[in-house]
């Protein structure tokens, strides 16, 4: 058993008074008022939490993987759960699932896309991910289910920018079929018209955010009606606009001319600095529009290691940057934290995590400072537990 002593705990109403929190096996045990003699207990390994804050482990709702090193980087940064939205083959994903003290992985496998989709070409998705018609949706879904996909990702493109875009009828067939199988759907969309197509088809979550203009009011109203959620991936959108000159047709859909991708820390300013391109301001304004309307915002980065992607985003550390960008776009610090914890867990049907509560999975992040008033405090990682096992801080 492990006991974290004298720590303030993030709750739905803010930070608690100092508490002693126990970890028993893979679960959170008792949470009690801090005791002066807790540190002297001989039946538990104790961790001094005085002056620190205990958060639920962070959830990154959009990543891509190539191997073990990305899981190690995320674990060290306090990202205890991650949703892979486009890694293949399925055997690679299987090898990375359920590893002790490493980030817990969920995967969509290869995303559904139209014949000739630019995004599919960049990601190198296999031929069986191409959906040729609404009738072909069932065949695509059967392949993903056989591979063990936890959810379904759909590439939703703007026909004005990508003539080969999936028609709404095919998107709707994929959504309906996935729902019949009990699976959530996530749509890639980077323009306002692509958002409209995704919302019209009834997708559950949209990842990225428009770079061209604000969403039409009727689209936002339909999102509220349907309970659509958004993972803006602002850290990716900022990098894309810097590299593509703000052209939405190039955003996450076409290879860079030199066949390489820039690294986040090399080419874009820190949160709060002037945007590299006016299109990124649009992306932030859309997040503010959705937040003001009450559309749920969840945190994701699009972290990826692949040559050919329009921008490289670092695994783990990028989620801390994403939280800062969400705050810059209008969320409070607490709302940004919730976007990566309980709201992300609720959105993606993770009922065993997302809050620091007795009986839930012991995915925990101990940080210095108060991230409810200074979101950058999440970067001051003191310790991470994943299913009760302490993660390594360095590789």
> Per mean pLDDT, which of 64-73, 108-117, 118-127, 309-318 is the most reliable?
64-73
Q: 90 or 197: which carries more pLDDT confidence?
A: 197
DSSP 8-state class, residue 361: B
How many Å separate Cα 178 from the centre of its chain? 20
Q: Where in the chain is the domain with CATH 3.20.20.140?
A: 57-347
- In CATH, 2-55+353-390 is 3.90.650.10: no
The mean pLDDT of the chain is 90
The token pair at 295 is 């559309």
- CB 110: neighbour CB atoms within 10 A? 26
DSSP 8-state class, residue 395: -
Beta carbons within 8 Å of 222's beta carbon, 6+ residues apart: 199, 200, 228
Averaged pLDDT for residues 147-172 = 94
Q: Poorest-confidence range of 35-39, 62-66, 279-283?
A: 35-39
Q: How many whole angstroms separate alpha carbon 81 and alpha carbon 123? A: 22
Place of tokens 């630019």: 118
What Å distances lie between residue 234 and 39, 106, 271, 392, CA to CA? Answer: 41, 21, 10, 28
Q: Which of 158, 166, 211, 213 is nearest to 185 (CA)?
A: 166
- Is residue 333 classed as helix, strand or coil in its secondary structure? helix
Q: How many whole angstroms separate alpha carbon 57 and alpha carbon 361? A: 10
Q: Is it the case that residue 249 has pLDDT exceeding 70?
A: no
CB-based burial label for 35 (10 Å; 0-12, 13-18, 19+) = middle
Q: Using an 8 Å Cβ cutoff, are 228 and 201 in contact?
A: no
pLDDT at residue 252 in the model: 46
**Which H or E run includes 276?**
none
Q: How many whole angstroms separate alpha carbon 273 and alpha carbon 374? A: 16
Per residue in 252-264, pLDDT (tens digit) is 443 322 333 334 3
Angle at 204 between CA 201 and CA 209, to 5 degrees: 85
Q: 83 or 12: which carries more pLDDT confidence?
A: 83
Averaged pLDDT for residues 238-251 = 64
**Structure confidence at residue 234 as a pLDDT band (50, 70, 90):** very high
What Å distances lie between residue 109 and 85, 112, 201, CA to CA? Answer: 7, 9, 21
pLDDT at residue 89 in the model: 87
Q: Is it the case that residue 117 has pLDDT exceeding 80?
A: no
CATH superfamily of 57-347: Metal-dependent hydrolases (3.20.20.140)
Q: Where in the chain is the domain with CATH 2.30.40.10?
A: 2-55+353-390
Q: Which of 372, 223, 193, 194 is nearest to 297 (CA)?
A: 223
Averaged pLDDT for residues 373-377 = 97
- The DSSP string of 20-89 is EEEEETTEEEEEEE--TTGGG-SSSEEEE-TTEEEEEPEEEEEE--SSHHHHHHHHHTTEEEEEESS---
Q: How many whole angstroms separate alpha carbon 153 and alpha carbon 108? A: 6
**Structure confidence at residue 267 as a pLDDT band (50, 70, 90):** very low
pLDDT at residue 77 in the model: 98
CB < 8 Å & 24+ apart, contacts of 199-202: 199/223, 199/226, 199/228, 200/168, 200/172, 201/156, 201/168, 201/171, 201/172, 201/174, 201/175, 202/172, 202/175, 202/176, 202/226
Per residue in 4-45, pLDDT (tens digit) is 999 999 998 899 999 999 999 999 999 999 987 766 676 779
Per residue in 2-13, pLDDT (tens digit) is 999 999 999 988
Q: Using an 8 Å Cβ cutoff, are 200 and 174 in contact?
A: no
The token pair at 78 is 């306090």
* Crossing angle of helices 217-226 and 278-293, rounded to 10°: 50
Q: Is it the case that residue 146 has pLDDT exceeding 90?
A: yes
Q: 116 or 333: which carries more pLDDT confidence?
A: 333
Q: How many whole angstroms separate alpha carbon 220 and alpha carbon 301? A: 22
89: preceding bond cis by omega (within 30 degrees): yes
Averaged pLDDT for residues 242-246 = 62
pLDDT at residue 276 in the model: 52
Place of tokens 């309980």: 342
- Is residue 167 classed as helix, strand or coil in its secondary structure? coil
Note the pTM of the prediction, 2 decimals.
0.91
- Is residue 264 classed as helix, strand or coil in its secondary structure? helix
């Amino acid at each position: 058993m492990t006991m974290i002593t004298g720590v303030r705990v993030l709750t739905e109403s803010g930070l608690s008074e100092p508490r002693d929190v126990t970890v028993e096996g893979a679960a959170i045990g008792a949470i009690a008022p801090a005791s002066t003699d807790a540190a002297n207990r001989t039946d538990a390994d104790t961790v001094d939490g005085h002056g620190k804050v205990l958060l639920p482990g962070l959830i990154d709702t959009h990543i891509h993987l190539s191997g073990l090193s990305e899981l190690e980087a995320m674990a060290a940064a306090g990202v205890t759960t991650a949703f892979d939205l486009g890694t293949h083959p399925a055997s690679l994903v299987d090898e990375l699932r359920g590893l002790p003290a490493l980030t817990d992985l969920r995967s969509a496998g290869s995303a559904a896309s139209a014949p000739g989709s630019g995004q599919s070409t960049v990601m190198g998705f296999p031929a069986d991910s191409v959906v040729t018609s609404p009738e072909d949706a069932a065949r695509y879904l059967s392949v993903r289910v056989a591979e063990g996909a936890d959810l379904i990702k759909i590439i939703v493109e703007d026909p004005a920018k990508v003539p080969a875009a999936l028609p709404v009828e095919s998107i709707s067939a994929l959504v309906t079929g996935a729902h019949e199988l009990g699976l959530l759907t996530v749509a890639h969309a980077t323009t306002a018209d692509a958002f409209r197509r995704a919302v019209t088809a009834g997708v559950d979550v949209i990842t990225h955010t428009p770079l061209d203009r604000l969403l039409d009011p009727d689209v936002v109203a339909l999102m509220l009606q349907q309970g659509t959620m958004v993972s803006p991936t602002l850290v990716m959108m900022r990098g894309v606009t810097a590299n593509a000159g703000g052209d939405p047709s190039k955003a996450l859909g076409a290879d860079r001319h030199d066949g390489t991708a820039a690294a986040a820390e090399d080419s874009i300013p820190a949160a709060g600095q002037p945007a590299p391109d006016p299109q990124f301001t649009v992306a932030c304004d859309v997040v503010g529009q959705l937040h003001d309307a009450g559309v749920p915002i969840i945190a994701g980065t699009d972290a990826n290691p692949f040559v050919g992607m329009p921008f490289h985003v670092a695994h783990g550390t990028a989620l801390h940057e994403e939280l800062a960008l969400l705050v810059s776009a209008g969320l409070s610090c607490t709302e940004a934290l919730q976007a990566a914890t309980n709201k992300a867990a609720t959105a993606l049907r993770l009922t065993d995590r997302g809050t620091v509560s007795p009986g839930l999975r012991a995915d925990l992040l101990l940080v210095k400072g108060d991230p409810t008033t200074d979101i950058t405090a999440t970067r001051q990682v003191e310790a991470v537990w994943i299913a009760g096992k302490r993660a390594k801080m360095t590789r």
